[in-house]
Amino acid sequence: MQKKTALYKMIWREITSSKARFFSILFLILLGVGFFSGLQATGPNMLKTADDYFNQQNLYDLHIQSNYGLDEEEYTRLEEKEEIESLEGHYSHDVLFGEDRLVIKLMGHDEDNQLNQLRVDEGRLPEKSNEIALDYNDVLTSQYTIGDEVTIYSGSQEANLSDTVSESTFTVVGFVTSPRYITNDSRGQTTIGRGQLDAFGVVQADVFTLDVYTDIFVTFKASENLSMYSDTYIEQMKDYKDAYEPALEEVGAGRLDKIKADAREEIEEGQTEIEEARQELADAEQELAEAKEELETGKEELASAEAELEDAFLELDREEQNYRDGVDTFEQEMKQAEERLADEEQTLLESEQQVKNGLSEIEAGLNQLNEPYADLVGQETALLDQRDDIRQLNQQLSEFFQTPVELLTDEMKQAWIDETAEMTFNDTSLSTLLQGYFNGTVTQEEITAFMSSADAGLTAGISELRTNINEINNQRDELEAQQQELRASLEEINAGKQALEEARTELNNQRTETEQELAAGRSQLDEGWAEYDKGVSELEEARGDLAEGQADYEEGLVTFNEEKQDAEREIKEAEQALIEARDELDKLEAPTYYLTVRHDNGQLVEFEENAERMSDLATIFPVVFFLIAALVTLTTVTRMIEEQRVEMGTLKALGYTDRDIQKKYYLYALSATLVGAILGLVLGYTLLPKVIFNAYQILYNLPPLALDFYWSFTLISLAVALFSSLVTAWYVLRKDLKTTPAILMRPKAPKSGKRILVERITPLWRRMNFMQKVTARNLFRYKQRMLMTVIGISGCAALIITGFGLKGAVEGIVDLQFGRVMNYEAVVALDSEASSDEKEAYRTIIDENDMIEASLMVYQETLAANKSGVTPQDVTMFVPETPAELNRFVQLKNRTSGEAFDLSEDGAIITEKLATLFEVEKGDDMTFTTADDDTLTVTVGGIIENYAGHYLYLSPSLYEESFSLEPEYNAELLKYPYSEAFETELSDDLSESDYVITTSYNQSMLNLFKDSMESLNIVVVVLIVAAAGLAFIVLYNLTNINVSERIRELSTIKVLGFYDNEVTMYIYRENIILTLMGIVVGGLFGRLLHVFVLGTASMDNMMFNPSLDWTSYLYAAILTMVFSTMVMLMMHRKLKHVDMIEALKSNE
C-alpha cells in the first residue's frame, strides 16, 4: 500500500483554501441534520421529561373519587389488590379564596404522603394548621407573597365551610407545584363559582374535618418500568380501571345501605324536631289565647268600675250642689240679718250722735258758763279778799294809828308802804296815802275815810257779782235739766245698742252654728270627692295596666304571627326537605365512582399531542434543507471539479487511479457532511429541543427538558446527509473521470456566450439597457446556478411563509371560531332537576338583563362518532328549542360553497372537520353513539364551517323521532355585547342561581386558547432563523462560486473603471432578480408546504384555517430581501478587496 500523503495534504489544502464552499456544505448539512434530529428528538424528549417528572413526583396511576367520598370500605378493598404499589387517601375541597374570590382546590397534605409529591418552588410546605402553600401559578404569585394572610370562603350558600375544614384563615408559607397539573393555567372544572378552578392551595391534612376521603390515589407496580406514554402502560391502566370499577361498585352497594340507614335516622330526628317545633308553636298560641281572655275580663271589670265611679260622681255632684245652695241661702240670710242689724245700728248711732251732739252742746254750754261763773266767783272772792284785807288793814291801821307817827321807825313805815303797795282803790294807792301820812300830808281820817269808801265800794261790787252768779246758776240749772233729759235718751239709745248687740250676738251664734253645720257638710263632701278621685286614679291605673297588657298581648301576637309564619315556613320547608330527603333516599343510588387514569387528564394528553406534533413537523422541514444541501453540494463539487480539471488530468497522467482522484472530492464532501452532521446532531439534540421546550414552558409547569440521544434519528439523518452530498459528488465526477487526461488538462473551453431567448423578442431586447442585457444573459448563462439560487431562496421564503402561515392558521381559528362561527358569548349549563321556582328565578335574571340580546335553550349532549380506521371522535350535540333561531347563535354556512342552512328545515347539521374525517357528504347518513350506548342515525342536511371541536346540530323534531322522547333542555346559549365588567356581573348573578351548574364564557376560552398559541411564536422564530440560515448559505455560496468563476470578468470591469458598487451590482443584479424569482416560486412552494404542514400537524378535533394570509407572503418577501441584502453587503466587502491584477495575470 502506497502512502498517498501528498493526496491527503492536497485535500486538506483544498478545504482550507475554499473555506466558504466547504462551510456552505457543512452548514447546510448542519441545518438539515440539526433540524431533523432536533425536531425529532423534541417530541420524545418532552414525553420523557414529563414521564421522568411524574415518576419522580410519584404521580398517581389511578385516581378514584366518588360522589359519597371514599370510606374505609373502599380503602380496605383496594388494599387487598396485590398489583398496587401504593395507595393513599387524600382530602380536597373546592373553596373560594381571598378578596377576589378565586376558585381554588384546597388539598390536604400529609408529611407521609408519597404520591403526587409537591415540588416546593418557594418557601415551604405548611407545618401548622393555619398555614397554606399556594399554587405556583401566575394567578396567585402575582397577588400573594409569603407571609400574607388569606381567607377562604365556602363555595355555596348551603355548605358550611366548617363542615369541611377547621380553619378559614391561613398564612401563606410557600409556593408549590403539583404534578397533577402540568399546565400553568388550567386547573380543571369545579361545581362552584365560575365552574373553573383558578389554582390550588395546600394545607395540612388535619385541617380537613371530613369523615371520608375525597380522593384515593393509586400507583401500580406494573407502571414502574413503563413510560406513561407507551401503549402498554395505557392499556394496562385501562385494564385496571375497568377491573376496579365493578369491584368498587360492590363496596358501594354496602355503603349505600349504611348511608341509607344513617340518613333514615337523620330523617326521623328531623321529623321529631318538626313535631317539637309544631308543639311549641301550638303552646305559644294557647298562651296567647289565655292572655287575650284575661285581658277581656280586665276590660269588663274596668268598665263596671267606671260605671260605679260615674254614679258616685253624679251623687257627689248633686250633694255638692245642695251644699252650695245651703251655703248660698245661709249667706244670703246672714247678709239680710246683718244688713238689718246694720240699719238699726245705723239709726241708733245716728240718734246717739244726735244725743251726744246735744250733750256736747250742753256740755259746751255748761262749760261756757263755767268761765264766767269762775270769773264771777273769782271776782267775788277777790273782792271779798280785798274787803277782808281792807278791813283787816283798817283794823291794823286803827291800832297803828294809835302809835304816833313820830314813833314809827322808817323801817316800819317802809314795811307799810311795801305792804300796801298793792292797795289801790280808785286809782289811789294806799301806799301813796301812807306815804303821805308819813309825810304828814295825809291825815289819819283821810286814810280812815279812804278805808271806809274802799270798803263800801267793795261791798257794792260784791253784791253785783252775787247777782250775776245767780243768773249763771240758773242758766246752769236749765242746761243741766236738758242734759238730764239727753242723758235719759242716751240711756235709751244704749239700751237699743244693747239690744242690737244682743241680736248680733245671736246672729253670730246662729252663723257659727250654721257654719259649723256647713263645714261638716263640706268635709263630708270633700271626703266623698277624695274617695271619688282615688277611685278615678285607681281606675286610671287599672286602665293603664290593661292597656299595657293589651300592648303586650298585641306585640306578642304580632311576634307570634311573624314567628309563626317563619316557623310554619321553616317547618314546611323542613317537611319539604324531609320529603325530598325521603324521596332522595328512595332514589338514592349506590355511590358512583369516578376512576381516572393519567390519560384521562386532558392536560397530559394535550401535552402528548403537542409533543407528537413536533415530531410531525420534524419530518417536513429537514427535507427542504437536505434538498438544498444536495443542490449546493452539486454546484460546489461541480465548480471544484471544473476548477481542477488540470489537476485531475495531471493526477490521472501521473498514474493515480480514478478512485484516488475521486477520493479527494468524496473526502471533501464527506468531511463537510460528517462535520456538519455531527455538529448538527449535537446542536439538534441539545439546542433545538430546549428552545422549543422553553416555548412550551410558558404553558407547562415542568422541570427542564431531559435530553436524550436517539440512534434512529442519528442514523437516518446521517444517511440522508451523506446521500445528498456523496451521491451528488459521484454524479459530477462520473462524467469528468470518463474523459482522458489530455482533454482534462486542456482548459475547458470557457462557456461561450449564447443568444438567449429574450434576444429574439427584439422589441423587448431593444428596450433593455445595456446592463439589463448583460444581466439577462448572465442569468441564463448559468442555468444550474440560477435554478439553485431560485430553489434556495424559494426554500427560505417558503419556510418563512410556513412559519407565519402556521401561526396564522392556528391563531386564526381562534378568531374565526369565536368571531365568525360561534356568535354567542356564553353557555349556561342548567340543572334540569332544579325546582320550578329556581327555574323561574333564573329566567328572571336572564329576562331582566337588558344587555342580553338573545338566549336560546338547548339540549346538549356529548356523542361519539365511530368508524373503523378513524379515531373515535367526541361530538357535541346541540338540540335547540327553536331551531329556526339557531343561526343567530351559530353561523350555519358551508365554508367553500357559502351555502346557508336552516336547522328547522335541514334537520341535522354537522361540522366540516367531522365530515372530512368520516368522509360524509350532504345527504349521507351518519351514526352516533350516546353515552347510554343508544345509536342515533341522521341524514346530514348540511355541513358547516367550524374550526374547533365537532358539533351536531339537531332539530327537536328529529330528536324526538330518533329517541322517542322530548329533549330535556339543559343549557342555554346567551348572546350579548362582550365586556369584561358585564361578564363579571353576569357571572355573579348566575352563580346565585341554583338552576345554573356552570357557565362557560367564550371570551375566556378564547383568551386561554390565544395564550396557548403564544408558543407558536417560537416555532415561527425557529423557522425564520432556519430560513435566514438557508438564505445566507445558499446566496453566499452561490455568489461566492459566481464570483470565483467570474473573477476575471469582475477584475476586468474593475480595471475598466467600474466603481465598487457598480461591480457589486454587476453581479448582484442577477442575485436580486433570482431572489425575486425565488420569492415568487417560494410563494407557491410555501403555499404547498403550508398545506402539507397543516395536514401533518392537524388535530382531529381542530380544523386549521387553511387560507394563507397575504401578510405571510409579505413578511416572507421582506425577510428574504433583507437576507439577500445582507449577503450582498458581505459580497460587496469581498468584491472590494478582489485583487484585479492577480486575476488578470494568468490564463485560465
Partner 1 sequence: MSYVRVVDEFKRYTMGENTIVANNGITFDVEQGQFAVILGPSGAGKSTVLNILGGMDSPDDGHIYVDDKDISQYSKKQLTTYRRDDVGFVFQFYNLVPNLTARENVELASQISPDALDVDEVMESVGLTDRRDNFPAQLSGGEQQRVAIARALAKNPKLLLCDEPTGALDVQTGKQILRLLQNTARDFNTTVIVITHNAQIAPMADRVIYIHDAKVKEIVENPRPRSVDEIEW
Member of 751, 862, 919, 1118 binding partner 1 (CB under 8 A): 751
Residue type, 274: I
Single residue of 570, 612, 1060, 1100 touching partner 1 by CB under 8 A:
1060
Binding partner 1 (rule: CB under 8 A), the pick from 646, 997, 1053, 1099 is: 1053
- Closest separation between CB of residue 1048 and partner 1, Å? 6
Report if residue 261 touches partner 1, rule: CB under 8 A: no
Could you say which of 304, 426, 896, 1147 contacts partner 1 (CB under 8 A)?
A: 1147
Shortest separation between residue 1056's beta carbon and partner 1, angstroms: 5
Contact 170, 152 (CB under 8 A): yes
The continuous run of DSSP H or E covering 450 comes out as helix 444-587
- Binding partner 1 (rule: CB under 8 A), the pick from 391, 599, 690, 777 is 777
CB nearer to partner 1: give 13 or 124.
Answer: 13
- As a whole number of angstroms, the distance between CA 1014 and CA 519 comes to 118
Q: In the block, which residue shows the cell 334540569?
A: 832
Window of 605-613, 776-784, 843-851, 955-963 that interacts with partner 1 by CB under 8 A: 776-784
For residue 961, how many other CB atoms are within 10 A of its CB? Answer: 12
The β-bridge partners of 928 are 865, 936
Min dist. Cβ of residue 45 to partner 1 (A): 52
Given a contact cutoff of 8 angstroms between Cβ atoms, the answer to whether 909 and 901 are in contact is yes
Among 4, 754, 1010, 1133, binds partner 1 (CB under 8 A): 754
Distance of closest approach, residue 788 Cβ to partner 1, in angstroms: 18
Q: Is 285 in the site for partner 1 (CB under 8 A)?
A: no
Exposed/middle/buried for residue 635 (C-beta within 10 Å: 0-12, 13-18, 19+): buried
Q: Does 646 bind partner 1 (CB under 8 A)?
A: no
The stretch among 124-132, 336-344, 351-359, 1140-1148 that binds partner 1 (CB under 8 A) is 1140-1148
Choosing from 415, 460, 1055, 1129, the residue that interacts with partner 1 (CB under 8 A) is 1055
Task: Give dist(CA 1033, CA 1030) in Å, integer.
Answer: 5
**Identity at 851, one-letter amino acid code:** M
CA dihedral 904, 910, 912, 914 (to 10 degrees): 180
Is the separation of the CB atoms in 518 and 327 below 8 Å? Answer: yes
How far is the C-alpha of 1029 from the C-alpha of 1127, rounded, in Å?
A: 11
Q: What is the Cα–Cα distance from 736 to 844, expressed in whole angstroms? A: 90
* Residue 1146 contacts partner 1 per CB under 8 A: yes
- Based on the shown chain and the rule CB under 8 A, indicate whether residue 749 belongs to the binding site for partner 1: yes
Amino acid at 709: F
d(CA 577, CA 835): 13
In the 8-state DSSP scheme, what is residue 71?
-
- Of the pair 655, 1057, the CB lying nearest partner 1 is at 1057
Report DSSP letters for 133-171, one per residue. Answer: EEE-SHHHHTT--TT-EEEEE-SSSSS-GGGTBS-SEEE
Q: Is position 765 an interface residue for partner 1 (rule: CB under 8 A)?
A: no
Q: Are 793 and 1034 in contact (CB under 8 A)?
A: yes
Least CB distance to partner 1 at residue 770 (A) = 5
**409/769 with CB nearer partner 1:** 769
Tell me how far apart the alpha carbons of residues 115 and 1115 are, in angstroms, rounded to a whole number: 50
**CB-CB contact of 676 with 13 (8 Å):** no
In angstroms, how far is CA 87 from the centroid of its own chain? 41
Based on CB atoms, which residue is closest to partner 1, 415 or 1144? 1144
762 binds partner 1 (CB under 8 A): no
Counting contacts by CB under 8 A, is residue 747 touching partner 1? Answer: no
Q: Which amino acid is at 100?
A: D
Binding-site string for partner 1 from residue 1061 to residue 1080, where x marks contact by CB under 8 A and - marks none: -x------------------
Q: Which is nearer to partner 1, 405 or 1056 (CB)?
A: 1056
Q: Which is nearer to partner 1, 247 or 1047 (CB)?
A: 1047
Q: Whose Cβ is closer to partner 1: residue 711's or residue 1059's?
A: 1059
Asked if residue 5 binds partner 1 (CB under 8 A), the reply is no
Give me the phi and psi of 64, to 5 degrees please: -115, 130
Task: Output DSSP code: residue 705.
Answer: P
Instruction: Please choose, from the candidates 239, 264, 119, the residue with its C-alpha nearest in 3D space to the C-alpha of residue 182.
Output: 119
Question: Residue 1057 CB, nearest distance to partner 1 (Å)?
Answer: 3
1057 touches partner 1 by CB under 8 A: yes
Query: Should residue 388 be labelled a site residue for partner 1 when binding is judged by CB under 8 A?
Result: no
CA 1019 from chain center: how many Å?
Answer: 40
Q: Which three cell numbers stand for residue 1147?
A: 490564463
Element at 1049 (helix H, strand E) = helix 1047-1055
State the minimum distance, in angstroms, from the CB of residue 1078 to partner 1: 22
8 A C-beta contact, residue 351 and residue 506: no
- When binding is defined by CB under 8 A, the residue of 137, 386, 778, 1071 that contacts partner 1 is 778
Would you tell me the crossing angle of helices 658-697 and 711-722 to the nearest 10 degrees? 140
Question: Cell 387524600, residue?
Answer: 90
Number of Cβ within 10 Å of residue 573's Cβ equals 12
**Residue count of the chain:** 1148
User: How many binding residues for partner 1 (CB under 8 A)?
Assistant: 32
Q: Should residue 711 be labelled a site residue for partner 1 when binding is judged by CB under 8 A?
A: no
Least separation in angstroms between residue 1148's CB and partner 1 is 8
Among 391, 663, 773, 1134, binds partner 1 (CB under 8 A): 773
Interaction of residue 1051 with partner 1, rule CB under 8 A = yes
Interacting stretch for partner 1, rule CB under 8 A, among 293-301, 306-314, 501-509, 1046-1054? 1046-1054
Position 1133 contacts partner 1 (CB under 8 A):
no
| Candidate residues 259, 295, 408, 774; the one interacting with partner 1 per rule CB under 8 A | 774
Instruction: CB nearer to partner 1: give 575 or 1049.
Output: 1049
* Identity of the residue, 456 or 1055, whose beta carbon is nearer to partner 1 in the bound complex: 1055
303 binds partner 1 (CB under 8 A): no
Residue with Cβ nearer partner 1 (558 or 1141): 1141
Q: Which H/E stretch holds residue 491?
A: helix 444-587
Helix (H) or strand (E) holding 927: strand 925-929
Choosing from 1056, 1088, 1114, 1129, the residue that interacts with partner 1 (CB under 8 A) is 1056
Cβ-based nearer residue to partner 1, 547 or 1141: 1141
Residue 751: CB minimum distance to partner 1, A: 7
* Residue 62, all three cell numbers: 389511578
> By CB under 8 A, is residue 1042 in contact with partner 1?
no
Taking CB under 8 A as the rule, does residue 767 contact partner 1?
Answer: no
Amino acid, res. 682:
V
How many CA atoms, within 13 angstroms, populate the side-chain half-sphere of residue 255?
Answer: 24
Q: Per CB under 8 A, does 1047 bind partner 1? A: no
Residues forming contacts to partner 1 in the complex (CB under 8 A) are: 749-754, 770-771, 773-774, 777-778, 781, 1048-1049, 1051-1060, 1062, 1140-1141, 1144-1147
